[in-house]
Amino acid sequence: MTETFQFKLLATDGRARRGEVSMPRGTIRTPAFMPVGTVGTVKAMYLDQVRELGADIILGNTYHLMLRPGAERVARLGGLHNFIRWERPILTDSGGFQVMSLSSLRKLNEQGVTFKSHVDGALYHMSPERSIEIQGLLDSDIQMQLDECVALPAEPDEIERAMEMSLRWAERCKVAFGDQPGKAMFGIVQGGDIPKLRERSALVLRDLDLKGYAVGGLAVGEPQEVMLDMLDVTCPALPTEKPRYLMGVGTPDDILKSVAHGIDMFDCVMPTRSGRHGLAFTRYGRINLRNARHAEDTRPLDEQSSCPATRDYSRAYLHHLIRSNESLGGMLLSWNNLAYYQELMAGIRKAIEEGRYADFMAETQENWKRGDL
Ligand SMILES: Nc1nc2c(CCNCC3CCCCC3)c3[nH]c(NCCc4ccccc4)nc3cc2c(=O)[nH]1
CA of 18 to the centre of ligand 1 (A): 23
| Report field, pTM of the whole predicted structure over 0.95 | yes
pLDDT at 141: 98
Query: Is the CB of residue 100 below 6 angstroms from any atom belonging to ligand 1?
Result: no
Query: Is the CB of residue 186 below 6 angstroms from any atom belonging to ligand 1?
Result: no
* Known catalytic residue at 254: no
pLDDT at 48: 86
Condensed to tens digits (0 to 9), the pLDDT of residues 195-216 reads: 999 999 999 999 999 999 999 9
Cis status of the peptide bond prior to 182, with omega within 30 of 0: no
* Known catalytic residue at 207: no
Nearest 5°: the CA angle 30, 215, 219 is 100
Query: Is the CB of residue 188 below 6 angstroms from any atom belonging to ligand 1?
Result: yes
pLDDT at 47 over 70: yes
Above 0.95 for ipTM, yes or no?
yes
Condensed to tens digits (0 to 9), the pLDDT of residues 311-350 reads: 999 999 999 999 999 999 999 999 999 999 999 999 999 9
How far is 97 from 24, CA to CA, in rounded Å? 28
How far is 352 from 9, CA to CA, in rounded Å? 11
Contact yes or no for 94/135 (Cβ under 8 A): yes
In the Cβ-directed half-sphere of 27, how many Cα atoms lie within 13 Å?
8
How far is 279 from 319, CA to CA, in rounded Å? 10
Condensed to tens digits (0 to 9), the pLDDT of residues 269-313 reads: 999 999 999 999 999 999 999 999 999 999 999 999 999 999 999
CA distances to 39, 115, 116, 117, 169 from 106, rounded to whole Å, are 23, 5, 7, 10, 19
Q: Which of 141, 264, 267, 302 is catalytic?
A: 267
Q: At what angle do helices 327-353 and 357-369 cross, to 10 degrees?
A: 150
Residue nearest to atom 11 of ligand 1 (CA): 61
Query: Is the CB of residue 41 below 6 angstroms from any atom belonging to ligand 1?
Result: no
Band of pLDDT at residue 168, cut at 50, 70 and 90: very high
